[in-house]
Amino acid sequence: MRKILKIREQIIDAVRQFFKSQGFIEVETPLLVPYPDPSPFNEVFEVSPVLGKRAFLTPSPEFFMKKLLASGSGSIFQICKAFRDSPELSPLHNPEFTILEWYRINADYKDIMVDCEKLISFLSKFKILNLKFKIDTPWLRLSIKESFQKYAGVDLDEFLDFKKAQEICREKGYQVSENSTWEQLYHQIFLNEIEPNLPKDKPLILYDYPAPLAALARLKPTDPRYAERFEFYLAGLEIGNGYSELTDGKEQEKRLKQDVEARKSLGMRLFDYDKDFVAAVKNLPPCGGIAVGVDRLIMALTGAKTIDEVLPFPAKKIFSS
């Protein structure tokens, strides 16, 4: 227990030291909110009402951090708790987890990629860590399109067409039903053929995600079929998800409405989207940002196999009795 606490302390202290040396301001935002991110990929926890309004534990501080950016905060970072509900706990998931988010103004996703390289290089200097991979920079960078071709033999440009995606998945033996969405077909291939084969001996950046998976990222001006989104991996673990941030309020509202409809079709908890957030997006400066799972980061830096190994009180332990 003492070792776990010491490692967490050193890594979190070092993260703060890194960002403050870069001129970022550390901020705090609410964990209890009336309108969480309606992404259909994350279920949320609903708690007792606050002042007569429905209340939720936030799955990410992103919306409120962007409200600060729109108010002129400048580059900011935050280390806090976040909450995502799941019917089953996995070796990589705890419903309450520590998240690091940062936003750099007058930057895009390529600048955030460099931030990631510099941060991990800075953290790797601590002798208490048990690194199983090399930290040489620049990291290996692979577009999603390249990864589909390399590991699955799939032309992603073709796969963007829904009927073609259905055909490809059927040929590969995956389950394809009348209710299968394009995103589900994509993830069948990505999770089974691509992610397990990504290199584990070096850091990796996967970038330029298909537009249907843009989330809150800006679409590529040169090819709007793809978004300026990336994820980075350490020791084979997906650690962070970053973007060139969307600054178009109308497009943001359109995506949030689509997310609400997707939640409805999936039978997830329903709630309205944050209209104050939409207004803030209209005033966002050009910026890039990323969310990093701190517990997974600690796993990768220490060689831990499960998230429970790096948590003093994992949910399995708390709720098993």
Condensed to tens digits (0 to 9), the pLDDT of residues 47-90 reads 999 999 999 999 999 999 999 999 999 999 999 999 999 877 88
Both tokens of 237, joined, read 């673990």
pLDDT for the residue numbered 128: 64
What's the pLDDT score for residue 76?
Answer: 98
Q: HEC string of 32-95?
A: EECCCCCCCCCECEEEEEECCEEEEECCCCHHHHHHHHHCCCCCEEEEEEEECECCCCCCCCCC
Rounded CA separation 144/141 (Å): 10
Torsion of CA 125, 127, 128, 131, to 10 degrees: 70
Residue 135's alpha-carbon distances to 22, 88, 118, in angstroms, are: 20, 33, 10
| Adjacent-strand bridge partners of 243 | 229, 289
The closest of 193, 232, 197, 230 to 215, measured between CA atoms, is 230
Rounded Cα distance, 12 and 122, in Å: 12
CA distance linking residue 169 with residue 162, whole number of Å: 11
DSSP H/E element including 204 = strand 204-210
Our CA angle for 134, 135, 138, nearest 5°, is 120
Class of domain 2-138+236-319: alpha beta
Query: 56: which strand partners?
Result: 33, 46
Bridge partner list, 205 = 141, 232
Domain ranges for the chain? 2-138+236-319
Q: What is the DSSP letter of 182?
A: H
Whole-number Cα distances in Å, 298 to 235, 237, 290, 294, 306: 11, 11, 17, 6, 10
As beta bridge partners, residue 244 has 288
Q: Render pLDDT for 108-127 as a digit per residue (tens, 0 to 9).
A: 999 999 999 999 999 988 76
Strand, coil or helix: 238: strand
Cβ contacts of 179 within 8 Å, gap of 6 or more: none
Q: Which residues 6+ apart lie within 8 Å of 257 measured at CB?
A: 273
Task: Using DSSP, state whether 30 is helix, strand or coil.
Answer: coil
Task: Judge contact between 111 and 104, C-beta under 8 A.
Answer: yes
- What is the distance between the alpha carbons of residues 217 and 266, in angstroms, rounded to a whole number? 23
- Averages of pLDDT over runs of 10 residues in the chain (321 residues) are 90 96 97 96 96 97 98 98 89 96 98 97 79 84 98 98 97 93 95 95 96 96 97 96 97 96 94 97 97 96 93 91 67
| pLDDT (0 to 100) of residue 87 | 75
